[in-house]
Amino acid sequence: MKTIVIGTGGREHAIAWALAKSPLVTEVVCIPGNGGTAVADKCRNIGISVAEIADVVAACKAEMTNAPPSSFIVIGPEDPLAQGLADRLADEGLSVVGAKRRAAELEASKDTAKRFMSRHGVACAKSATFSDVTDAIAEINACSGPVVVKADGLAAGKGVVVAPDAETAIRAVRDFMVDNTLGSAGRKVVIEEYLEGEEVSILAAVSVTPELAKAGKAAIVPFVTARDHKRLRDGAEGPNTGGMGAIAPASGISAEVYERFRSEILEPTLQGLIADELDYRGFIFFGLMVTKNGPRLLEYNVRLGDPETQAVLPLLDSDFAVLCRSIIDGTICETPLVWKDGFCCAPVAVSRGYPGSYPKGLPVTIDETSVGPDAAIFIAGAARNRREGPSRQGDDVVPGQLVTTGGRVLAASACGATVEEARTRAYRALEAVSFEGMFYRKDIGLPGAAVSGNLSAGN
């Protein structure tokens, strides 16, 4: 079968890598892909921006003409899902793994997500939504203790402020609602109770349609647990980032907590998707806080997490392409997932200056022989130089050279029987990588590395 992966990040490289491992997959077309997928086994990039939805649809249609009928498309990031790319591709008769627009609202609008959680009895933080700035401020002043201010819309990780005091919360509300720092994403805000505990990410496959629900085949199948490390520096210090690394499975999830996640979060979510008659065939990400009163849902993402995917997919022993196909066909209950024992650690290397401004175009070298057979490098923000022809004198552009294009440049992923073994292998692989100003946390996967004692440090 032929597969297409849409997106440009490390998550998409990991998805393409997992698909390419399947003996059933002959080709993985990446739109636009990155400098990793440009040279990966079975992979080929098509340089179309994900933002150009009509061009993406046209390219998918052209690629899928005459492809085997089992072929399919996987959409990685949230923006195209929120814009209805899955609907557009399905309208063309193509098989897609990705939430349709109405389901994607669960991530694209925090207010929609909170209403869904409350309507369907999903265990979550208490909250209220405001479209009037005076009302929002009155709510903050009425709360005792810290609150969390969330912009309603998609804000690329910049829409949440964990506020230790009312002053910080009010500033966030004014930034979002009056100064429009996030544009239309901040027109409404959700004010949420602050929850203390350890975060865990649970990624899952979803296959829900009204027809599958009628046949009793609608399902959500969770993957192994994972934990992102959002702060920039070791010991969970410094500003929040898009994710400095992940470990899977996450520590601290007892059988009792997991059972409560299933009964108080996963099952009501499934029943909610069914009751709302959604067509949702793709992935879902439960962002949880494990509090002393049990797990609480902080957010849904309607996609796989980044960098969690880079730590979760290497642990999958069964065929990822078969899983994707079963999501589309509504057979995930009959398609058992097999997970490797042990752990996977995926530290991320970032550019100097990230998450602030950072230089681009710096050459990245990877000593492939030192990466080790038990590790993989997943490229995120790096592309291949494309300049063709003989190099001019004084011209240091080497065709095919990997150069940085983003803040998060790559992740090294490695599995091991223990956390320590996975960490040793992953960090050994990272030592084979070099670029000017390369920075990474050294404590990904260590106990407590994702828990911050300082409420205000990230804001």
Binding residues for ligand GLY (CB under 6 A):
228, 243, 301, 305-306, 308
Binding mask 267-296 for ligand AMP (x = CB under 6 A): --------------------x-x-------
From the list 52, 17, 11, the residue with the least C-alpha distance to 38 is: 17
244 binds, among ligand AMP, ligand GLY, none (CB under 5 to 8 A by kind): none
Q: What's the rounded Cα separation, in Å, for the pair 411 and 371? A: 12
Minimum distance, C-beta of residue 309 to ligand GLY, in the bound complex (Å): 8
301 binds, among ligand GLY, ligand AMP, none (CB under 5 to 8 A by kind): ligand GLY
HEC-encoded secondary structure of 399-432: CCCEEECCCEEEEEEEEECCHHHHHHHHHHHHCC
Contact (CB, 8 A) for 257 and 198: no
* CA dihedral of residues 403, 406, 230, 300 (deg, nearest 10): -120
Minimum distance, C-beta of residue 455 to ligand AMP, in the bound complex (Å): 9
In this structure, what are the phi and psi dihedrals at residue 429, rounded to the nearest 5 degrees?
-65, -35
Among the listed residues 199, 234, 237, 374, the single contact to ligand AMP using CB under 6 A: 199
The residue number with the shortest CB distance to ligand GLY is: 305
Minimum distance, C-beta of residue 154 to ligand GLY, in the bound complex (Å): 11
H or E segment to which residue 6 belongs: strand 2-7
299 binds, among ligand AMP, ligand GLY, none (CB under 5 to 8 A by kind): ligand AMP
Q: What's the rounded Cα separation, in Å, for the pair 25 and 42? A: 8
How wide is the angle at C-alpha 192 spanned by C-alphas 257 and 124, nearest 5°? Answer: 25
For ligand AMP, give the closer residue by CB, 154 or 270: 154
192 binds, among ligand AMP, ligand GLY, none (CB under 5 to 8 A by kind): ligand AMP
Token digits of residue 427: 């960090």
Q: For residue 194, state whether it binds ligand AMP (rule: CB under 6 A).
A: yes
160 binds, among ligand GLY, ligand AMP, none (CB under 5 to 8 A by kind): ligand AMP
From the list 330, 190, 224, 323, the residue with the least C-alpha distance to 274 is: 330
Minimum distance, C-beta of residue 201 to ligand GLY, in the bound complex (Å): 6
For ligand GLY, give the closer residue by CB, 8 or 95: 8
Token digits of residue 431: 């030592």
Is residue 390 packed enough to be buried (19+ CB in 10 Å), middle (13-18) or exposed (0-12)?
exposed
From the list 1, 93, 2, 8, the residue with the least C-alpha distance to 48 is: 8
Minimum distance, C-beta of residue 125 to ligand AMP, in the bound complex (Å): 4
Length of the chain: 459
Minimum distance, C-beta of residue 143 to ligand GLY, in the bound complex (Å): 26
Among the listed residues 298, 328, 344, 346, the single contact to ligand AMP using CB under 6 A: 298
Q: Cis link prior to 77 (omega < 30° from 0)?
A: no
- Of 41-49, 194-202, 338-346, 353-361, the segment contacting ligand AMP by CB under 6 A is 194-202
Among the listed residues 192, 279, 308, 443, the single contact to ligand AMP using CB under 6 A: 192
Q: What's the rounded Cα separation, in Å, for the pair 200 and 202? A: 7
**Ranges within 138-157 binding ligand AMP (CB under 6 A):** 148, 150
308 binds, among ligand GLY, ligand AMP, none (CB under 5 to 8 A by kind): ligand GLY
